[in-house]
A = this chain, B = another copy of it.
Amino acid sequence: MKKLIECIPNFSEGRDKEKIERIVDEIRKQNGIKLLNYSYDKDHNRSVVTFVGEPEEVIEAAFNSCKKACELIDLRIHKGEHPRMGATDVIPLVPIKNVTMQECIEYSKTLAKRIAEELNIPVFLYEKSAMTPEREDLSNIRKGEFEGMFEKMKKEEWKPDYGQDKPHESAGVTAVGARMPLIAFNINLNTNNIEVAKKIAKAVRGKSGGFKYCKSLAFEIKERNIVQVSMNMVDYTKTPLYRVFQVIENEANRYGVSVIGSEIVGLIPLNAIADIADYFLKLENFNYDQILENQIYGDEL
């Protein structure tokens, strides 16, 4: 059974198309890798690449793209709206098939070690790979950004997990970590009262006492004259979408409001979709292998 992981490196270059292409080329040239998508944003001055493959090839491609970014991007002259601390800012590894989170954590350490040793870029492990609770959240690590890292890393609690105690002169520092797939899930309410959306967003948000793996915000959707609870579901296996959906239905009802629709933004893993059907149909003993496409594709990439 082939192991399959997803890698979504973020690079601090969103304006120079030629440089972006040269970085992405390092992934394209790797055998056994499937490049799913890449996008860049001028305002953020940042690009995001998504690819999948077997772990060894993914690590190789991630390393090579990180090396190229180190050659091409100089953080000392980088400006953009999105916070950043490195030429390659962050490299998440996501288990997709026939691979455990623990294995992904090991792969993240292999990659981190190589980046530190061969490129002289210090690396912090984050999310599931984090060695301390403070380092689970990327925003804690990145606080101060590239410019602040030189001072920050002098502190004992901000020594990197791999490499030297100061940023690479031009490429800064990089975070590497294993995480679950992230699902962007929005729920629309038939009211224009933003206070209702704020209360509901708070009710389901992990940080404020809601579901642990749910991050949420309230938004107005002015063109439809409605409000939305916008969520990032960061571990659908532990905080499933249907449970959050039903709590939001109940909470909306408490304010005399209804859910009029929801949306998945971007990608969702097949298993997360299957879990929803399984729940609502009260399926007994349903197995993901019963999905025809899982039989067809089996362990092929």
Contacts and interface: CB of A to CB of B under 8 A. Distances in A.
A4 B296 contact: yes
A261 B286 CA distance: 11
Contacts of A141: none
A284 interface: yes
Interface stretch (A122-130, A172-180, A287-295): A287-295
A241 B262 CA distance: 20
Nearest to A280: B280
A294 B96 CA distance: 13
* Most chain B beta-carbon neighbours within 10 Å: one of A242, A267, A292: A292
A140 interface: no
A266 B46 CA distance: 46
A227 to B, nearest CB: 15
Nearest to A274: B273
A291 B268 contact: yes
B292 A270 contact: yes
A290 B267 contact: yes
Contacts of A148: none
Given A270-B292, A273-B274, A290-B268, A281 B262 contact: yes
A157 interface: no
A284 B296 contact: no
A247 interface: no
